[in-house]
């Protein structure tokens, strides 16, 4: 039964990353064309200006996500479609990367996926203590012009107790998510 769970988790992770890669390749092909059927030259220029002026650092308050229970996350927009993040909070620390299906811009609902890795330890005797886990979020972000941003995601997660890392029966499978409110600067 555990082997089937491992295979299903890896399959979901593979599907998520394949969809992301395909979306990015399609977007890059569209970006490389001299003329676009979707945007006029004025709209493209506006998007480029929006990118140049966008504040790329984000501090956010999270529930779940990169901070296993709740905490503060620092994010950095490193490319037009990519954000890296690190967080610390009640119950642990975490880091991750998000890949967006379209260039990051203000006043537009954006879809993303990625991979987060967290270390969870409450300091009390629970099943989740000393657990290293990863989850593959699929979510939505919205960046306002006033520098606020919001995010919500959910995805499959796998966890392992670090004190018995090589025992298959200690794996934890679940859905995991994130709710965040942030400020860009």
- What are the sequence ranges of the domains in the chain? 2-184
Q: Which residue has the higher pLDDT, 35 or 181?
A: 181
Residue 173: what pLDDT? 87
Residue 80: what pLDDT? 93
Average pLDDT value over all residues in the chain: 80
Q: Is the model's pLDDT at 32 over the cut of 60?
A: no
pLDDT for 124-180, tens place per residue?
766 666 788 899 999 999 999 999 999 999 999 998 877 665 666 667 888 999 999
Q: Is the model's pLDDT at 8 over the cut of 60?
A: no
Residue 172: what pLDDT? 82
Q: What is the CATH number of domain 2-184?
A: 2.40.160
- pLDDT average, residue stretch 28-45: 55
pLDDT for 96-124, tens place per residue?
999 999 999 999 999 999 999 999 887 77
Residue 16: what pLDDT? 60
Tell me the pTM.
Answer: 0.70
Burial of 112 (0-12, 13-18, 19+ CB in 10 A): buried
Q: Where does the pLDDT of residue 91 fall: very low under 50, low under 70, confident under 90, or very high at 90 and above?
A: confident
- Percentage of the chain surpassing pLDDT 70? 65
């Amino acid at each position: 039964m555990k082997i089937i769970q491992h295979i299903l988790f890896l399959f979901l992770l593979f599907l998520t990353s394949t969809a992301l890669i395909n979306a990015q390749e399609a977007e890059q092909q569209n970006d490389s064309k001299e003329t676009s059927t979707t945007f006029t030259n004025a709209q493209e220029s506006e998007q480029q200006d929006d990118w140049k002026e966008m504040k790329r650092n984000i501090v956010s308050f999270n529930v779940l996500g990169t901070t296993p229970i709740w905490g503060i996350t620092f994010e950095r927009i490193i490319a037009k479609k990519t954000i890296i993040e690190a967080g610390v909070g009640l119950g642990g620390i975490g880091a991750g990367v998000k890949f967006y299906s379209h260039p990051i811009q203000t006043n537009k609902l954006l879809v993303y996926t990625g991979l987060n890795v967290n270390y969870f330890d409450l300091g009390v005797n629970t099943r989740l203590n000393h657990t290293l886990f990863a989850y593959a979020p699929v979510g939505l972000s919205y960046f306002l012009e006033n520098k606020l941003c919001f995010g919500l995601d959910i995805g499959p997660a796998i966890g392992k107790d670090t004190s018995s890392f090589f025992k298959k029966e200690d794996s934890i499978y679940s859905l995991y998510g994130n709710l965040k409110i942030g400020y860009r600067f």
